Amino acid sequence: EIVVTQSPVTLSVSPGERVTLSCRASQSVSSNLAWYQQKPGQAPRLLIYGASTRATGIPARFSGSGSGTEFTLTITSLQSEDFAVYYCQQYNKWPPATFGQGTKVEIK
Amino acid sequence: QLQLQESGPRLVKPSENLSLTCSVSRRSLSPGNFYWGWVRQSPGQGLEWIATIDDYGSTYYNPSLQSRVAISADTSNNTFSLRLTSVTAVDTAVYYCARHGGSVRGVLAHWGQGLLVTVS
């Protein structure tokens, strides 16, 4: 099973700042990595797939990059609605699909 | 707009079996090359993929749960279901049903709102 590790666990930022979240896979997943956003009490929402392709309706301030084992999600100019938990997920070798443990982006 | 809705018991006793159903609106489960799955999230924890079924009835399971899980679909009623046997407290979680991406099968593109199931 491919293990996916996210860092940091928590990120404290101010609105308007640029945020970079990291995701590392235990072995290469090529570009088969997705990012999700989850707000309290809500289901996750797909943000990015194929490491860098935004899902339908996702604002351009969200961008993904990386391949192989190292990936990043960048949010430029953080908005109030962006405070949430972000998960990455590999799907290069599924089953099983595996998720990272999440990074919480909180207000500083 | 595709909508998914989980239903089932909110409280289950230890050692009992849990059965959940996901109702799909707008698009039927008739063959169309889609994958339908279940994901759970224990309180305050991360996401765990459980199982997936495709429109042709092929099933895929998380090896960690495979011995206790079965996924099935009822195309006539536009539903798919999850059965988890011999539950314990560690199975307490929010259970989500989801549809995988149409062209990118590995991602979960559409999610239900989730159903909190407590084992106690």
Mean pLDDT of B61-83: 95
Tens of pLDDT along A17-33? 999 999 999 999 999 99
**CB contact (8 A) between residue B101 and residue A49:** yes
Which residue carries 């949430």 as its tokens? A84
- From CA B5, how far away is CA A63, in angstroms rounded? 30
Residue A59 phi/psi, 5-degree rounding, is -60, 155
Angle at B59 between CA A52 and CA A38, to 5 degrees: 40
**CB contact (8 A) between residue A96 and residue B64:** yes
Chain A residues close to B113, C-beta within 8 Å: 42-43
- From CA B102, how far away is CA B2, in angstroms rounded? 12
What's the pLDDT score for residue B105? 87
pLDDT band at A95 (very low <50, low <70, confident <90, very high): confident
Residue A72 phi/psi, 5-degree rounding, is -135, 150
**CB contact (8 A) between residue B96 and residue A98:** no
Report which DSSP code applies to A80: G
Quick one: closest CA in B to A46, which residue? B109
What's the pLDDT score for residue B75? 84
- From CA B99, how far away is CA B97, in angstroms rounded? 7
**CB contact (8 A) between residue A91 and residue B60:** no
What's the pLDDT score for residue B29? 56
Mean pLDDT of B71-99: 95
Q: Closest Cα to residue B48, out of B61, B29, B32? A: B61
**CB contact (8 A) between residue B106 and residue A34:** yes
Chain B residues close to A97, C-beta within 8 Å: 49, 106, 108
pLDDT band at B32 (very low <50, low <70, confident <90, very high): low
**A65 and A75 Cβ atoms separated by less than 8 Å:** no
Q: Is A87 on the interface with B (CB under 8 A)?
A: yes
Exposed, middle or buried by CB within 10 Å (0-12, 13-18, 19+), for B7? middle
- From the list B47, B63, B109, the residue facing A99 with the nearest CB is B47
**A48 and A54 Cβ atoms separated by less than 8 Å:** yes
Residue window 8-37, chain A: list those with CB within 8 Å of chain B: 32, 34, 36
**CB contact (8 A) between residue B104 and residue A50:** yes
- From the list A32, A36, A43, the residue facing B106 with the nearest CB is A32
